[in-house]
Structure 1
């Protein structure tokens, strides 16, 4: 039997007070009769306490209601009212059997308060007064534990002793903790051993061994929570915990090499950087900061300066060196941590050292700057020619050659012969806060002796920018706004670099203060609130208001700007929420975006259609005949005359099939001059062989010239008048003399030949 049925005995009557409105046994209620009526005993309801197990998905009878006033008459019916009556709980009107018809969830509702009624259906009147009873939903284990604050992260110092507290994780179970231990949880680690452990009942995670951050700096721990104290049938949930080891100063800095070799010129001035040494510390942050020192330099020639940014040791000259006196120096450098906890001194009993061997060079030395680099400052907006700073270099040689200075790759600064750096124009810190350039020092009489030094110029800020709005505010006020309603919170930004936290002061302009329909309240935290100064606005009267807000900063001197705020009147509806106006604005912007997108797509489609149409048109033109008049068949004839007569039989006509026209592209071919054609014909007339062969070769040559000449017109006929030849009875017709290109030429070969021809 479910143990929850015995809850009255386990947790006391007080926990089930709503359930005990009726007794376990039958009992009667005695009612006082009205005054003057005879005394009678009124019977009471008889019922038990009812329980329903959650998640039960079948209709089930859970008990029976009865009253001794029910005499078995069919006109008397039982009814119920209250939580879930008629939808979840039903009663048989005749028998009083109570049943549940729906699946219930205890986590949503654990108790249902109902009332029992006995009704005479003929009169509709209650035979007995109503009685209250409770149906309790009993729990089943249907909810798994859930962790509350995921994801979990924790930090613990490295090398912490075993049992050090790290973090506590907590899970919750929605089930009833008093029923079957459904919500009693136990915790265990699924991942994280052997470095961590967890308390099963509290979820407290502790260290179980010492861990070294330098070996591993973070761990993922997986924690599981089980309900029912881990018994069979328990549900579970898991979470991950990232545990990071914080650093402690448990490592000493050590040098990477035991010997450093360096060179220094004998002319190097005091303070010259000779070289750099570097130690390594496995710790991080402040624990890795270190200091270098010289341990056994009896001559006091060298010193070491620590670069706090790079943690390098810069070896510098403490005294001038002379190659003729000493060419080599051997010094030992030592390094130690800058911050050492008293509890961690056991880790720092031994210091690391290294040997430095310095060789002095004997050479003609270039100019030497007094500092390895210069950091200078100048206020922005300083006028042209303002002093930035002075650099100085000297010639270490005995002749002390004069030095001239120059600036490389900078049009913003200039330097004179004394090393004085000035500006060429005012500077703006908001445009550029740092300027880096190099200055070259050159010996006046030996330009090969030069040296450079880096210069860093910081532009200092002045209050030259007034505060302004950080954005363009979209402010709305409802038509039905009430006086004193907040409609906009504003803030300000300032381009200047204030040492102190910038403070801004807000106020309305004088004109808006006197006549404005709005007021402003300075929140004294660099923000202000715009409030209405009257009740109600009208879109018909005025749709937009413009107010001018004065914003002042705390600079010296203070600067003030005037900023216009546009306030639009909006119909907010009955809700009076300004968010409606913002949503309308967003919908308008989205519709504009959609319209622009549609227009762009249409333009792209039209462009593609135009390109396709152009391609089709060009292809169609290529298919057209280059010379359409040659589509028809061309016919040519050659007429041969054997004598000078005009008889028909003296003429022979021959069709030239080879002269049929066909459409093709001709290559450009240079026309022959008339003289060249005549000379060609002259050569042909002296050929040995039949006359037909000579004429045929000549005609074929002319045909080839016509076909390959792209500038020639299409030919319908080709007539060639040559000579009669040896077979002619008429003999020679005439002699041909021709003037070509303005010159008279005699062609003796044509004394018996007349060749008029046309193409």
Structure 2
């Protein structure tokens, strides 16, 4: 059997065991042993890592009992690294490593070996498994799991307080030698901290470390293998240690006396001043509370803490008055909110200071004696009656005079006024409680020396009631009586209302008016509860004889002075059934007796209206069809035709003027205005008497035409300019029988036609029609 040189001891143990078995002939359980053919006589090989020699590193040798040394046996190696990392000599069975091996990369290799006949390739031995283990050497330094480490420890900690534990690992084999045995030591950070060499636990080594002196520390820790012996490898890491704060410092004021100046006009809730105490601690350990522990003005001021800045905020709680008190003194204390009992021995964690507050004078407006005033006045009070007074004074030392006035924005109707010097309020007009029971006004007080200093006060004026209104019916009653009513029957219960408001409540009295008492058909009975009943005084009523009755009811109140009024109750006579239920009243009853109902009358009236509308429409259409044309024929236009080319308003003229006027001489008699213009004054047309011309004198014709032109020039109802106006004059006893006959002559001489050339240009303004019949008309 050939084994590795380092396995000698193992081989001896195996030989001892085999010899022992041969001596006894039994195994451990007493079973007789049988001899069997021996196989491989090896189990594992060992190999050093990181081999640095020039020759191949020898691993071991394989040998089979079947090998007779004649070269007929061939050794074959399979498994992890076979042929690459490990090579075997086929003849001798020697195994060599071809490369440097690293145990930290792979600690062992599992391979399989067999012996075969070189010629027949037949297996001489069954395949067997063996292991090649890599022996470790110290080729890895310790490495820390973190770099750097962060740690915190409270300041003022005792010696030996744990801070943090560091850990280093070594990749070498911890089961073989001291290559992986690590020892910790501190290189930097002494004398404040120490480290346990075996566990790496860092602890405080110096008492009373103060954060306010030094807050951060850098500690360097070393880890060395080989149990710290010479030649071992090492690694380092840095541990950043911060001292956390504890409340070991009390707050302290920066000054023992603070002084502030405040105007007396400062509003309530305003900040008067800020004070600050210093605390070397941080965070919640520096939080502090301020409070007033003494003051010569109790309740005047308050102090709170601004949590973001830790300032003490002094706030005004009551009004300041320079004339009453000009200076205040406060004693203030500050202390931490979170106190650590561990440090009580260091003294009280509080401090005190004095605050001096000086009040400065300010010119203040007048001050009224009251915050508001309430005055009362009767509604029948006469004008200029004083109803009350207000009073204000200047609070300053100079004591300026005060002038009073009413804010007219609160008394726009000028019902009240005030005496400017003494503040007496009086009324300017009569009051009516029923119209306005309360008046709310504002009175202004102004300093005489400084009109900008003003103040206001509300004045509430109550108008007291006076019995100046008479009671009336509470509602508009609709009362009826049946024709078959019996005497002394209640047909209506009435009540009253009164806008007055007496203190004891209303008390009304009802009665029938004296002028109606003698011939009354109804009576009034007072129910003594502010109501009255209306009763019948006979057994039956006839609506045909009288359908409506008016009953005068007198209503009086019980106040002083007593007020009364007469109210008329209208009672209709109705037809009722036997149970007294109304069926028909007044005109409805009369119509029913005549045989026609109201619905029938309305239907008949509607039919009549529709027939009338049809007749009017038919007449209008017929009249429109019979309108004669504007000009019947061209022969109707005779000698004197004036043509002018003024373009009119088109459709507007057509709509604004009735064209029928041009052909109807009588249309001028109608009082129609032009619709295309807006006349300033309406001039009704006037028909003047026509004077016939004579043979001796043509002045009548000239006057006639002149008058017609003047009438049309001044007539706002004249037709548009593009209308044709004809003038005709029916002559009586004319020799020529026509004004247009140029051949007409007289026995006494020629006819004078100069008036035609004189008035010809004026024909452009013709806007009307006037003339006689068609047989005797000039145009």
Q: TM above 0.5, one fold?
A: no
User: TM (normalized to structure 2)?
Assistant: 0.42
- Larger gyration radius, structure 1 or structure 2: 2
User: TM (normalized to structure 1)?
Assistant: 0.43
